[in-house]
């Protein structure tokens, strides 16, 4: 342990300031929590519905944590052996535990607040006003957002303060913990939410012709639980992990490039982000009109962005004084001698990227824009044309998303042109830091979605008055928009984070093999057959992973169909005289999601190891590149196609193209259903996937280098590969007779 | 001109032997042509229907050739300026013309024979037997197959004989000509065939509830024309081009590695392939039972494979005596001193790859296997579950296809392990040569599909007797299987060819910049931001390209819906007293396909140029790698998902899951319709796309190296980029009121 010994006086002050800000962020979350919990919880009926949802959601998370506990402990032990020195090994193992516990906490607390917030939002709409309801819903989201900000910053800073120049090896453990947990939350939550949704609809809407959220349908509570498990816990863990991974890679690359300053600067930037998110989110207040809502949220966002930009500039002016003797171009230091503002410029590129990605996502999924309207129009000619048009829209949207990311990376790299490759990589990492500056605001917007959605559901089930119902419906619509928009950021940041991790991977090989960055680079040429093969295999993994999780939804949904049908055979339930056994469906859903987690999870953890041990570190490099590329393409495709189909349905339900009940509407429902597992299961799970595989590669690289020519390890890996392929080829069996309608 | 001067006596004999074999292949095609045309053409009614199809098909091809003539001439002129020396420049331009003319000829003749063969097959079924009908249909396909073999080999050998060691620069022109034409044939033909199909179905089956191929539907003839234009002309040009490109890259890499021997050996291998295809295809004869048909075709295939393997071994034993002094391992020369059989082993890997890819494609699209049965089962729960399951099957299939290709490349590279990188690249190229050895058989199987399909259609329209109808239906089923299987080869060979081209790209940079392969390799590291950005952009192009072509199908289909509806308003037509104006629909379809060609075509040609000029040759290298990866993934996904949906529908129509007319059947029709533009338009067009972009890069690389730092060229490229993006963002307008049902 080497607390403080390596830091200058000024650095210690800076680090404690960052720590203080992280704690301030957490305190702000606690304050909001108290505010929200103090609100009125509505009628007894509302409380009962909300209580069932809360019970189910908690049951799911407990089971989820229990399932992965063993794996987490196993990996903690394994990590102990990946590091050389003993205190680093202990640190890495502990940091891994801390990362996973933090990620779990963000998900757990976020979800718990969401399931408490929903009923309070409904109550506010019932007894008070639109403005109040909006405020409660938004602030419920902000709690999760600030937890993410605070815990992420706290953990990273703490590790750096304790380990100083060895921090980098420990940080890897921290990042991996968060990422792995996010993967399981995303996959498990994604399967749960869509299995419940599809299962409830197949029996309820299609077979029995009863409305959504009908209390006789045993899957309704599971369906509402799913919204929280997937959109809230899953999303929060996912963004927490991006937030963590970007800071880890920035710190690794910052250390390699600029030493202490390179590490402390991103921490300061993050601290400013926390402050600006506190101010920006607290400023969100709306009057009595719907159109004010989106405006208020946007104003909060822009306010935070402006504060951040000013803050970055100030920190840069005071902190970024380097003593290098080279003459930097004017724009680097604004003409001030010895000033190097380049890290500031790259973070600003990141903020711009975040805003542009938001706009792009909005364009492709907003009902008032051409893509969604094209899809809605194509519903008039039937199911198939709707699917085809949405498919084409999804494919197209990937291109513009990639172009925007490429341009940002290019500018970040351009800012560091003429310097050495680690500096350039640092620039890209800082762009990622900038992109996630406004994480607090983004998560507020995102979690706002399921809270408003649930509040609306409770409002309907508890038969609130018409005015309240209108308020809740309006809130739900706003929530749909904000939720869809933030998906773009989640994916975009995953890619930038993955690219930074990838650069860290190369820096790492370079450190271990004592070769220069250039020497490593030449081994990673796409012209080598191994690298190219790695690229092809890596590119195919997201396809297989998506296929596994989509099929899992189908299988789990069938089980639910069977159970709901069985319960409806009870006359008392069908006549509404007895409540169905909601808990049983929740528990089937939970069990199925856990069981289906195993295969995608193993694929994510094992495939980079196997490629590394069988084909070498160069192939593993190609593998990572290919996987980032196809993961990004698929994730954007699935998110946007799914979002566009969803909104096309809503657009038709608003009375266009014949409105509800028309043939066009039926076709649009098909599109929405197809999009569901894409946008809410497979697509979002790709974000943590690409980072988990990068992390595994980073952690395993010393072992890969050590054993890549070992025959025994090679044969062992071959055996594991055969076993894995065998496992992947055998779909779990389900009882098929459940399917027949 | 330097005919023969550089060759030894033995080499001259070898080259003339190859030439002779190419001519023998062409003569065999002519002989089969005479055989087929000699057959009975059936009743007057049959001839009339077949005549209309032929007219439409020819009208389309004339228009297509006319449209691209200007572009071809423009590029011929431009190519003149890409080469340095004058006689090379002239040679390259002429070779380009020759390549495009050959490709066009294969498509044109193949299609013309198919539209003549169809009626003869129907007549044979009517008056004679199953065996006769099968033989005529298969031999009609063989004509196209042998034309491909013969012309491809003839062109490559001719250029090598004339240009000797300069041949390589001229061969590029030859390859590019074939590839570019194939791209236009695939995109244009693909849009045509699916627009006609979807348009005919939307009005006929869905709106007016009249059966398929009802003579009152003005789009029926266009629909039948489409089968020939897409499956026959498009596919033939596509495989011709793979055949050509693999030989071009093997010759380029062979020259760089082993000089004359490295070039002549692949030519000899190809010659053996031609001979074995002649014998194997001629051996295809079936008795009177359906199950004999598939067996007969497979026996022909295996016979050809055995002859090839024996032939390769013999050629290797006599020809591959190198004078190198190094001690090769036993397996390289079978213990015979100075013998190097490694090129033979790599070609055998290629043959094995072809067989495995066929089996894999069959697994994912065969109605008796699990994937299709899963899809058929999921039709019972509706449209959406069918789409989701098919989507998951398609995603999964990409992984195994890529794994098989990777293993083959690994083995080919392993065979040359420890040698220099160009040798390894040569090994991979020879694997591609091996894979396409049985092109004659493959194209026979593929073209057999549309011929049998058309014959069956003619049989139905001309009301043949029951026995004949059964024979034709059986033939059609066999054709569906063979057609689906060969799609795998088309895509797989495109990838292997593209990888070889990519290696040629690097060899080429190395030659121009006088750097070693290793130096170039290090510039192409995925760790460089430019290469990574190139990778991302390249990966997104196939997504955009697919989106453009899928949307084009939709727009063109709307125009046809409008016209058919307009014609049906004529009471005489509706009552069957007057024939509709088939030609008008054919001409609308033709015009729309030509118009929609422009944007994907420009994207394919311009994007590699722009990446090269704006971001440099390294980014262009990344671009090619990314594009090959995502192109392969998307192409396999679309082909297999489409094929599986198609066969799931057929499986249900055979009486399973409730059979024709059930809800499951309706859902399966949606899947089939969604799959159509994927498997017949966008998917197949990706094969030539990935090769065209590689070719453009190869041809432009001297200019890119010369101008990559020029500010004027950079600004010009930026302007073109902006223009291209603008063009891509503006979908052509169509009159929307046509859509409303």
User: What is each CA distance from B92 to B87, B95, B509, B562, in whole angstroms?
Assistant: 8, 5, 19, 46
> Is the pLDDT score of B135 beyond 80?
yes
Residue A231 contacts residue A193 (beta carbons within 8 Å): yes
Phi-psi map region of A733: left, alpha, beta (phi>0 left; psi -120 to 50 alpha): beta
Which candidate, B180, B148, B184, places its Cα nearest to that of B443? B148
- The lowest-confidence range among A213-217, B248-252, B334-338, B609-613 is B334-338
Q: What digits encode the pLDDT tens for the residues B208-256? A: 777 777 778 888 888 888 888 877 878 888 888 888 888 888 888 888 7
Q: What digits encode the pLDDT tens for the residues B259-302? A: 788 888 899 999 999 999 999 988 888 776 667 788 888 888 88
Q: H or E segment at B457?
A: helix B439-461
* CA–CA min distance B357, chain A (Å): 16
Average pLDDT on A234-252 reads: 83
Which residue of B384, B424, B526 is in closest CB contact with A622? B526
Q: Is B734 on the interface with A (CB under 8 A)?
A: no
* CA–CA min distance A690, chain B (Å): 15
Q: Residue B524 has what pLDDT? A: 66
Tell me if B524 and A526 make a contact (CB, 8 A cut-off).
Answer: yes
Provide the ipTM. Answer: 0.89
Write out chain A residues lying below 8 Å of B385, CB-based. Answer: 554, 673
Q: Residue B708 has what pLDDT? A: 74
- Chain B, window 334-393: residues with a beta carbon less than 8 angstroms from a chain A beta carbon: 377-378, 380-385, 387-389, 391-393
Q: What digits encode the pLDDT tens for the residues A269-295? A: 999 999 999 999 888 887 766 677 888
Q: What digits encode the pLDDT tens for the residues B655-669? A: 888 888 888 998 998
DSSP assignment of A6-71 equals T--HHHHHHHHHHHHHHHHHHHHHHHHHHHHHHS----HHHHHHHHHHHHHHHHHHHHHHHHHHHH
Counting residues of chain B whose pLDDT is more than 90, the rounded percentage is: 24
> Is the pLDDT score of A212 beyond 80?
no
Residues facing residue B530 across a β-bridge:
none
Tell me if B421 and A527 make a contact (CB, 8 A cut-off).
Answer: yes
CA distance B310 to A680: 55
- The lowest-confidence range among A601-610, B2-11, B493-502 is B2-11
User: Torsions phi, psi of B525, nearest 5?
Assistant: -70, 140
* CA–CA min distance B629, chain A (Å): 6
Write out chain A residues lying below 8 Å of B428, CB-based. Answer: 529
Read off the tokens for A534: 């790695």
| Residue A736: band (very low, low, confident or very high) from pLDDT cuts 50, 70, 90 | very low
Which residue of A380, A521, A544 is in closest CB contact with B739? A380
CA distance B439 to B149: 7
Q: Residue B519 has what pLDDT? A: 65
Which residue of B381, B521, B526 is in closest CB contact with A741? B381
- The lowest-confidence range among A478-482, B22-26, B58-62, B510-514 is B510-514
User: For A629, which residue in chain B has the nearest alpha carbon?
Assistant: B536
Tell me if B521 and A525 make a contact (CB, 8 A cut-off).
Answer: yes
> Is the pLDDT score of A741 beyond 50?
no
Tell me if A536 and B406 make a contact (CB, 8 A cut-off).
Answer: yes
Long-range contact pairs involving B715-722 (C-beta distance under 8 Å, separation at least 24):
B716/B613, B717/B609, B717/B610, B717/B613, B717/B614, B718/B614, B720/B606, B720/B610, B721/B610, B721/B614
CA distance B167 to B180: 20
CA distance B128 to B121: 10
Residues facing residue B321 across a β-bridge:
B339
Give alpha helix (H) positions in B569-581. 571-574
Dihedral sign computed on CA atoms, order B246, B247, B250, B253: negative
Residue A11, C-beta contacts closer than 8 angstroms, at least 6 positions apart: A260, A264
Report the half-sphere exposure of A496 (CA within 13 A, side-chain side). Answer: 43
User: Torsions phi, psi of B321, nearest 5?
Assistant: -95, 105
Residue B42, C-beta contacts closer than 8 angstroms, at least 6 positions apart: B119, B120, B122, B123, B126, B458, B462
What rounded mean pLDDT belongs to chain B?
Answer: 85
Average pLDDT on B366-392 reads: 90
Report the half-sphere exposure of B227 (CA within 13 A, side-chain side). Answer: 27
Q: Residue B503 has what pLDDT? A: 78
> Is the pLDDT score of A737 beyond 50?
no
User: Torsions phi, psi of A525, nearest 5?
Assistant: -70, 135
Average pLDDT on A434-450 reads: 88
- Chain B, window 664-693: residues with a beta carbon less than 8 angstroms from a chain A beta carbon: 669-671, 673-674, 677-678
Q: Is B479 on the interface with A (CB under 8 A)?
A: no
Tell me if B521 and A527 make a contact (CB, 8 A cut-off).
Answer: yes
Q: What digits encode the pLDDT tens for the residues A70-81? A: 888 988 888 887
Hey, is A345 helix, strand or coil? helix
Q: What digits encode the pLDDT tens for the residues B168-193? A: 778 888 888 988 888 888 888 889 88
Q: Residue A369 has what pLDDT? A: 87
> Is the pLDDT score of B671 beyond 90?
yes
> Is the pLDDT score of B391 beyond 70?
yes
Greater confidence (A524 vs B693) lies with B693
User: Torsions phi, psi of A339, nearest 5?
Assistant: -100, 135
| Residue A151: band (very low, low, confident or very high) from pLDDT cuts 50, 70, 90 | very high
Q: Residue A735 has what pLDDT? A: 52
| Residue A322: band (very low, low, confident or very high) from pLDDT cuts 50, 70, 90 | low
Read off the tokens for B223: 């629909």
* CA–CA min distance A413, chain B (Å): 7
Write out chain B residues lying below 8 Å of A413, CB-based. Answer: 529-530
Q: Residue B125 has what pLDDT? A: 85
User: Torsions phi, psi of B320, nearest 5?
Assistant: -90, 50
Tell me if B630 and A633 make a contact (CB, 8 A cut-off).
Answer: yes
Q: Residue A540 has what pLDDT? A: 94
Which residue of A409, A615, A673 is in closest CB contact with B384? A673
Q: Residue B522 has what pLDDT? A: 62
Which candidate, A18, A381, A14, A58, places its Cα nearest to that of A232? A58
Residue A152 contacts residue A245 (beta carbons within 8 Å): no
Which residue of A392, A626, A741 is in closest CB contact with B551? A392
Residue A384 contacts residue B673 (beta carbons within 8 Å): yes
Q: What digits encode the pLDDT tens for the residues B425-476? A: 888 889 999 998 888 898 898 888 888 888 888 887 788 888 888 888 888 8
Which candidate, B592, B548, B581, places its Cα nearest to that of B735? B592
What rounded mean pLDDT belongs to chain A?
Answer: 85
- Residue B709 sits at the vertex; the CA angle it makes with B707 and B714, to the nearest 5 degrees, is 75
Q: Residue B737 has what pLDDT? A: 43
Read off the tokens for A177: 């913990």
Q: Residue B461 has what pLDDT? A: 77
CA distance A311 to A18: 13
Q: What digits encode the pLDDT tens for the residues A692-717? A: 998 888 888 888 888 877 888 888 88
Cα of first residue to Cα of last residue in chain A, in angstroms, is 65
Q: Residue B253 has what pLDDT? A: 82
Q: What digits encode the pLDDT tens for the residues A405-421? A: 999 998 988 888 777 77
CB pairs under 8 A between A and B: 251
Q: Residue A454 has what pLDDT? A: 84
Greater confidence (B737 vs A508) lies with A508
CA distance A250 to A427: 9
Neighbours of B335 (CB within 10 A): 9
Write out chain B residues lying below 8 Å of A625, CB-based. Answer: 526, 532, 535
Q: Residue B662 has what pLDDT? A: 87
CA distance B221 to B219: 6
Q: What digits encode the pLDDT tens for the residues A543-597? A: 999 999 999 988 888 888 888 888 888 888 888 788 888 888 888 888 888 888 8
Residues facing residue B525 across a β-bridge:
A525
Q: Residue A738 has what pLDDT? A: 41
Write out chain B residues lying below 8 Å of A393, CB-based. Answer: 547
Tell me if B377 and A739 make a contact (CB, 8 A cut-off).
Answer: yes
Which candidate, B58, B70, B71, places its Cα nearest to that of B180? B71
Q: Residue B740 has what pLDDT? A: 40
- Chain B, window 586-645: residues with a beta carbon less than 8 angstroms from a chain A beta carbon: 615, 621-622, 625-626, 629-630, 632-633, 637
Q: Residue A525 has what pLDDT? A: 67
Cα torsion at A542, A547, A553, A558 (round to 10°)?
-170
Model confidence, pTM: 0.91
* CA–CA min distance A389, chain B (Å): 7
> Is the pLDDT score of A722 beyond 60?
yes
Q: What digits encode the pLDDT tens for the residues B528-548? A: 778 889 999 999 999 999 999
Count Cβ neighbours within 10 Å for each residue of B97-123 and write b for 16 or more, e otherwise. Answer: bbbbbbbbbbbbbbbbbbbbbbbbbbb
* CA–CA min distance B527, chain A (Å): 6
Hey, is A213 helix, strand or coil? coil
Residue A437, C-beta contacts closer than 8 angstroms, at least 6 positions apart: A269, A270, A272, A273, A276, A304, A305, A308, A347, A350, A351, A354
- The lowest-confidence range among A547-551, A611-615, B125-129, B729-733 is B729-733
Question: Angle between the B383-415 and B370-378 helix axes, to the nearest 10 degrees?
Answer: 160
Neighbours of A139 (CB within 10 A): 25
Tell me if B206 and A382 make a contact (CB, 8 A cut-off).
Answer: yes
Residue B657 contacts residue B379 (beta carbons within 8 Å): yes
> Based on C-alpha coordinates, what's the Rg of chain A?
25
């Amino acid at each position: 342990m080497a607390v403080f010994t390596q830091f200058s006086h000024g650095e210690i002050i800076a680090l404690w300031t960052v720590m203080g800000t992280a704690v301030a962020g957490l305190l702000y979350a606690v304050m909001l929590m108290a505010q929200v919990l103090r609100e009125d919880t509505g009628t007894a009926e509302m409380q009962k519905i909300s209580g069932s949802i809360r019970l189910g959601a908690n049951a799911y998370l407990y089971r989820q944590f229990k399932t992965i506990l063993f794996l987490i402990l196993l990996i903690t032990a394994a990590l102990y052996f990946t590091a050389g020195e003993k205190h680093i090994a202990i640190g890495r193992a502990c940091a891994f535990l801390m990362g996973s516990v933090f990620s779990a906490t963000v998900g757990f607390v976020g979800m718990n607040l969401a399931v408490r917030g929903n009923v309070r939002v409904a109550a506010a709409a019932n007894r008070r006003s639109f403005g109040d309801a909006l405020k409660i819903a938004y602030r419920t989201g902000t709690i999760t957002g600030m937890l993410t900000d605070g815990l992420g910053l706290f953990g990273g800073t703490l590790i750096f303060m304790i380990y100083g120049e060895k921090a980098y090896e420990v940080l890897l453990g921290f990042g991996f913990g968060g990422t792995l947990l996010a993967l399981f939350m995303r996959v498990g939550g994604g399967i749960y939410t869509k299995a419940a949704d599809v299962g409830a609809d197949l029996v309820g809407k299609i077979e029995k012709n009863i409305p959504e959220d009908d209390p006789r349908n045993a899957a309704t509570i599971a369906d509402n639980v799913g919204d929280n498990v997937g959109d809230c816990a899953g999303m929060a863990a996912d963004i927490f992990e991006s937030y963590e991974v970007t800071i880890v890679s920035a710190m690794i690359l910052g250390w390699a490039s600029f030493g202490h300053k390179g590490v402390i600067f991103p921490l300061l930037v993050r601290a400013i982000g926390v402050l600006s998110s506190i101010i920006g989110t607290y400023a969100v207040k709306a009057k009595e009109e719907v159109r004010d809502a989106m405006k208020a949220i946007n104003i909060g966002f822009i306010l935070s962005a402006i504060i951040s930009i000013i803050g970055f500039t100030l920190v840069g002016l005071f902190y970024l004084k380097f003593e290098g003797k080279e003459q930097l171009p004017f724009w680097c230091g604004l003409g001030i001698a010895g000033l190097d503002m380049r890290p500031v410029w790259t973070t600003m590129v990141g903020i711009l990227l975040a805003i542009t990605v938001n706009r792009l996502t909005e364009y492709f999924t907003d009902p008032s824009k051409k893509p969604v309207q094209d899809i809605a129009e194509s519903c008039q000619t039937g199911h198939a044309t709707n699917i085809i048009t949405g498919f084409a829209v999804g494919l197209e949207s990937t291109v513009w998303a990639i172009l925007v990311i490429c341009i940002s990376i290019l500018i970040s790299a351009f800012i560091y042109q003429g310097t050495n490759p680690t500096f350039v990589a640092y620039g890209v990492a800082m762009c990622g830091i900038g992109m996630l500056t406004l994480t607090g605001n983004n998560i507020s917007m995102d979690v706002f979605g399921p809270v408003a959605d649930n509040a609306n559901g409770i409002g309907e089930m508890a038969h609130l008055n018409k005015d309240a119902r209108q308020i809740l419906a309006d809130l739900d619509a706003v929530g749909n928009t904000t939720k869809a928009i933030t998906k773009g950021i989640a994916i975009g940041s995953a890619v930038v984070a993955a690219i930074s991790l990838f650069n860290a991977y190369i820096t790492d090989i370079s450190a271990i093999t004592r070769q220069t960055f250039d020497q490593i680079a030449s081994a990673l040429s796409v012209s080598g057959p191994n690298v190219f093969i790695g690229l092809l295999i890596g590119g195919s993994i997201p396809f297989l992973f998506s296929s596994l999780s989509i099929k899992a939804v189908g299988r789990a949904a069938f089980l639910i169909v069977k159970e709901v049908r069985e319960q409806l055979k009870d006359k008392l339930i069908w006549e509404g005289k007895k409540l169905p056994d909601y808990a049983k469906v929740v528990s089937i859903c939970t069990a199925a999601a856990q069981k289906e987690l195993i295969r995608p999870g193993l694929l994510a953890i094992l495939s980079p190891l196997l490629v590394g041990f069988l084909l070498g570190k160069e192939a593993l490099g190609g593998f990572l590149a290919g996987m980032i590329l196809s993961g990004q393409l698929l994730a954007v495709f699935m998110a946007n196609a799914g979002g566009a189909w969803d909104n096309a349905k809503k657009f038709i339900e608003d009375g266009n193209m014949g409105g509800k009940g028309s043939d066009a509407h039926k076709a649009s429902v098909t599109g929405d259903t197809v999009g569901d597992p894409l946008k809410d299961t497979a697509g979002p799970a790709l974000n943590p996937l690409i980072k988990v595989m990068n992390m595994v590669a980073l952690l395993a690289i010393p072992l890969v280098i050590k054993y890549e020519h070992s025959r025994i390890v090679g044969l062992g890996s071959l055996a594991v590969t055969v076993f894995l392929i065998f496992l992947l080829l055998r779909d779990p069996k389900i009882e098929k007779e459940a399917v027949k309608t």
